Amino acid sequence: MNSARVLYHMVRADFLERVRRYSFLVTLAFAIYIGYAAYSGIIVVRLGEYRGIYNSAWLGSLMGLVGSMFLSLVGFYIVKNSIQRDRDTRVGSVLAATPMTKAFYSLAKTTSNFVVLASMVGVMAAAALVMQFLGAEDPHIQLWALLSPLLCVALPAMAFTSALAVFFETVPLLRSGVGNVIYFFVWTALLVAPGTQTFDKKKNEPVPAIAYLADFSGIVSTLGQMQTAVHSIDPESGNSASLTIGDTQGPPLKRFVWTGLEWTPALIFGRIVWTSSAIFFALIASFFFHRFDPARVGGPGASKAPPVAAPELDTQQPLIAVAQTSAASLLPLTATSRTNPFFRLVGAELRLMLKGNRWWWYLVAAGLSIACLFAPLDAARGGVLIAAWLWPILVWSPMGSREARHSTESLIFSSAHTLSRQFPAVWCAGVLVAVLTGGGVGLRLLFAGAGHSLAAWLAAALFIPSLALALGIWSGSSKAFEAIYTVWWYVGPAHHTPGLDFMGTTPASSSPATYAVAAAVLVGASYWRRRSRLGYA
Amino acid sequence: MQLAIENVSKRYGTGNWALRNFRLRSGPGVLGLLGPNGAGKTTLMSILATITRATEGRVMWNDSDLASHPDALRSTLGYLPQDFGVYPNLNALEFLEYLAAVKGLDAALSRRRIDELLNLVNLSDVRKRPLGSYSGGMKQRVGIAQALLNDPQLLVVDEPTAGLDPEERVRFRNLLSELSGERIVILSTHIVSDVEATATDIALISQGSLVAHSSPEALLRKVEGKVWEWVLPSAELNAARQRYLISNTSRRSDGVHARVLDDSPPSGAQAVTANLEDAYLYCLSRHRAGVSA
């Protein structure tokens, strides 16, 4: 069987396995939502006072940008499980026993990821067509103008994202939740790498071609050319260009006719560079890939201890006499031995959450906790607390999904009072983590009599574990919380954004009532979901 | 102490029925649930362990309906699933302490019981090692220990000897026999020798239905006078397989010794003593042929 055929079947099997899961429908729904958001003005490309009329070129460029910027973030978290799935299903062991090379496997997984992301881009292309029809500003469909930004701007970004996902899955440190957090900052860095300047007004031209090379998402290239077009019809127009989410200014009043991207050699070369980088990263990833060797798995849950040999049995004795204890002599447990176990269970859940962290994790957590107590209150609330409540992200993230991740559901769910005891114990342990790491700020707000601020702190301490629990139970994975919390943390608390600042880091940005209610809703949703998973609630 | 399974059926989604009108009553002792792969054993075990709900019918535990009072059973249930995981960063002691807390057991008593159980399953020496470093058989022994944590009145074990080496398998069989006195043990397996060694009662299941439920002796009586040893040339073995149900063969210098299950003997065959595997295969073949076992 030649390599192309092997590659085809690997990608096909991977793709079919993915698309036959309900989660893929959610993925497609997200792509459709992105299209809707662009059409309805939730996502806006603004060139000073201008926007393009809804023709094929404008909608294609808009979708290309939106795809390359947002799918490169969300898509990463969606596809960063292809190698893990081979490990979980043990298909990887079968593949490892074939003559397939590590580089081939890595490239095949990158291709498989790419096909999934490309299918989402395909949905966005269809959405662009629908938008042009609904917008009714230009009925003429120009396929190349519509599709070329998606093919040449979005797809290279998807290829690079696909390769990064494989790279993150093969490098032991990045494979875990740490990698999910780090990727957000990598993505941010990729977006800002070419700089924010897209257009040189004095020269009436886009930024130098060299910026195209660093332009992962194509935003500098696209907005630069759009600004040049606007400037040519209105030299007095401003120098601003932006792609924003949740635009509150309303749609731009003026419109211009965008005829599409000019495929300059620099632009084409830039896209080729990013596509080639995808292949390069896929090959780099193969160096870290160890063909599912259980001795080199690494990552979370992998034991640092060497395999334990089974204790030797004394074959000179009758088999039943080997054990020092027989079943008949086991301590009987009478009904009176049952005590109210809730607080003990909270302690057990807390220990389970914290187990596995290294000493330096506790050191940093302790340092942040102490800083919460002794830093100036405003700095503690608006700075230290933000870090203190990001640090335990990997402690919170397995909440709700730990049983599924480690296949202990049947052991836990067959125990008495799972829903009324174990479920709230997990949540309480999560809240305790928040209190232990950021409690200093809460304590000081209490003594300062800052009621509103204290309420915001308390709401956050309840909201964060509630979010972790809900996302864990509903998604069955810790990844959703790691990705969403990191983004939310960055956009909300880290920038003190009103409405999104769930930590209430400043008086102006806090909204405790909202997040207290949100916490209650999330706990309720988690409870309902967990209840539905139990055979007999 | 009684477990009654009353006309229980289970359907997954809108697909096939995994169980159909399954009825069974069981008291203290070891009930061996024997059946081929895909017969519905694990589905039945999951229902008894309150993991999944029966589509039709009901399960009664000491006259209490499982659907209405699942915790009445759960508090006295020990369950060893066919597939289960462990938390790799915890050691055996911590894992069992955690499950003892989940089961609501008293801290001091459960600590003593965990010590005893780790001794019983021969893991005391490695109790402080992370479970992630355990072999499959050792994890299985942790599973056995956790199933016995709460001194269960109903012990449900699904394919418990999978992954155990022969010595551990024998130990586990003996352990089950010891445990069975004052409790109901349900042992689900497709390994006839496991049941033969431990079961006081046997239920045969096939295609989601109960084929037979009786004592091992009664089951053996069903095939008395129907098991034959037939010596035939190797070249005729395939033809013989087409005609007879053959439970075992062994090649010797005088030809192939085939163990034939049939109401009448093949020409030249000698009657031999039936064993449980013969009875199992005989009943299943009768069931598949649509004849009541």
Chain B closest CA to A393's CA: distance in Å? 18
Q: How many CB pairs under 8 A join A and B?
A: 190
Across the interface, of B46, B109, B130, the residue whose CB is closest to A303 is: B130
CB distance A320 to B174 below 8 Å: yes
Overall average pLDDT of the A518-533 stretch: 95
Overall average pLDDT of the A142-170 stretch: 95
Burial of A173 (0-12, 13-18, 19+ CB in 10 A): exposed
Using the Cβ of B94 and the Cβ atoms of chain A, whether some distance falls under 8 Å is answered with yes
Q: What is the pLDDT of residue A328?
A: 62
Chain A closest CA to B76's CA: distance in Å? 9
Calpha distance A146→A55 (Å, rounded): 8
Q: Cβ of B179 and A319 within 8 Å?
A: no
Using the Cβ of B10 and the Cβ atoms of chain A, whether some distance falls under 8 Å is answered with no
Contacts of A418 in chain B (CB under 8 A): 74, 102
Structure tokens that stand for A323 in this block: 């054990």
**Mutating which of B11, B76, B90, B102 best tests the A interface, going by the most A Cβ atoms within 10 A?**
B102
User: Where is average pLDDT lowest: A176-190, A254-268, A314-328?
Assistant: A314-328
pLDDT at A332 exceeding the cut of 90: no
Nearest residue in A to B88, CA atom = A301
User: Where is average pLDDT lowest: A153-162, A232-241, B99-108?
Assistant: A232-241
Using the Cβ of B135 and the Cβ atoms of chain A, whether some distance falls under 8 Å is answered with yes
Using the Cβ of B128 and the Cβ atoms of chain A, whether some distance falls under 8 Å is answered with no
Structure tokens that stand for B249 in this block: 């063969």
Chain A closest CA to B104's CA: distance in Å? 5
What is the CA angle A411-B128-A422, rounded to 5? 30
Residue B206 pairs in a beta bridge with B209
Calpha distance A17→A6 (Å, rounded): 16
Calpha distance A233→A382 (Å, rounded): 46
**Mutating which of A324, A358, A536 best tests the B interface, going by the most B Cβ atoms within 10 A?**
A536
Q: What is the pLDDT of residue A322?
A: 43
Which tens digits make up the pLDDT trace of A170-183? 998 899 889 999 99
B151 contacts: CB under 8 Å, gap ≥ 6: A330, A331, A332, A333, B113
Percentage with pLDDT > 90 across chain B:
60
Percentage with pLDDT > 90 across chain A:
48
Across the interface, of A330, A341, A407, the residue whose CB is closest to B84 is: A407
Where are chain B's structural domains? 3-220, 225-273
Please state, as a whole number, how many other Cβ atoms lie within 10 Å of the Cβ of residue A355. 16
Strand (E) or helix (H) holding B217: helix B216-222
Closest CA to B90 of B81, B100, B82, B98: B98
- What global pTM score does this model have? 0.80
Residue A112 pairs in a beta bridge with none
Comparison of pLDDT for A30 and A348, the residue scoring more? A348
Alpha helices in A300-341 (DSSP H): none
Comparison of pLDDT for A316 and A525, the residue scoring more? A525
- pLDDT averaged over every residue in chain A: 86
Overall average pLDDT of the A350-361 stretch: 92
Q: What is the pLDDT of residue B91?
A: 93
Q: What is the pLDDT of residue A298?
A: 54
Calpha distance A421→A431 (Å, rounded): 15
Structure tokens that stand for A375 in this block: 């830093």
Q: Cβ of B98 and A313 within 8 Å?
A: no
Structure tokens that stand for B61 in this block: 């535990």
The full DSSP string for A221-286 is HHHHHHHHHHHHH-TTS-S--EEEES--S-S-SEEE--------HHHHHHHHHHHHHHHHHHHHHH
| Confidence bin at A50 (pLDDT 50/70/90) | confident
Which tens digits make up the pLDDT trace of A32-47? 888 788 777 778 888 8
Q: What is the pLDDT of residue A204?
A: 64
Overall average pLDDT of the A4-26 stretch: 85
- pLDDT averaged over every residue in chain B: 90
| Confidence bin at A469 (pLDDT 50/70/90) | very high
Using the Cβ of B49 and the Cβ atoms of chain A, whether some distance falls under 8 Å is answered with yes
Comparison of pLDDT for A256 and A523, the residue scoring more? A523
Structure tokens that stand for B119 in this block: 């001794």
Question: What residue type is A234 in one-letter code?
Answer: D
| Confidence bin at A512 (pLDDT 50/70/90) | very high
Q: What is the pLDDT of residue B171?
A: 84
pLDDT at B273 exceeding the cut of 60: yes
Q: What is the pLDDT of residue A317?
A: 44
pLDDT at A335 exceeding the cut of 60: no
Q: What is the pLDDT of residue A323?
A: 47
Percentage with pLDDT > 70 across chain B:
99
pLDDT at A308 exceeding the cut of 80: no
Calpha distance A105→A97 (Å, rounded): 12
| Confidence bin at A337 (pLDDT 50/70/90) | very low
pLDDT at A228 exceeding the cut of 90: no
Phi-psi region at B164: left, alpha or beta (left = phi > 0; alpha = psi -120 to 50): beta
Q: What is the CA radius of gyration of chain A?
A: 27
Nearest residue in B to A318, CA atom = B171
Overall average pLDDT of the B108-122 stretch: 90
Across the interface, of B51, B89, B119, the residue whose CB is closest to A355 is: B89
Structure tokens that stand for B268 in this block: 């030249």
Please state, as a whole number, how many other Cβ atoms lie within 10 Å of the Cβ of residue A32. 16
Enter the ipTM: 0.83
pLDDT at A313 exceeding the cut of 60: no
Overall average pLDDT of the B50-65 stretch: 92
Residue A50 pairs in a beta bridge with A47, A254
Which tens digits make up the pLDDT trace of A91-137? 888 888 888 899 999 999 999 999 999 999 999 999 888 888 887 78
Q: What is the pLDDT of residue A299?
A: 47
Contacts of B178 in chain A (CB under 8 A): 320, 326-328
Contacts of B66 in chain A (CB under 8 A): 536
Contacts of B44 in chain A (CB under 8 A): none
Kindly state the DSSP code that residue A199 receives in the 8-state scheme: E
Closest CA to B293 of B229, B212, B232: B212
Which tens digits make up the pLDDT trace of A81-92? 899 989 888 888
Q: What is the pLDDT of residue A319?
A: 40
Structure tokens that stand for A198 in this block: 């897209």
B79 contacts: CB under 8 Å, gap ≥ 6: A410, A411, A414, B45, B49, B147, B155, B156, B157
Q: Cβ of A310 and B130 within 8 Å?
A: no
| Confidence bin at B137 (pLDDT 50/70/90) | confident
Overall average pLDDT of the A65-75 stretch: 90
Q: What is the pLDDT of residue A321?
A: 40
Contacts of A316 in chain B (CB under 8 A): none
Percentage with pLDDT > 70 across chain A:
87
Q: First CA to last CA across chain A, in angstroms?
A: 52
Q: Cβ of B89 and A341 within 8 Å?
A: no
Alpha helices in B103-150 (DSSP H): 107-120, 136-147
Q: What is the pLDDT of residue A240?
A: 77
Comparison of pLDDT for A207 and A348, the residue scoring more? A348
Nearest residue in A to B73, CA atom = A416
B3-220: which CATH topology? Rossmann fold (3.40.50)
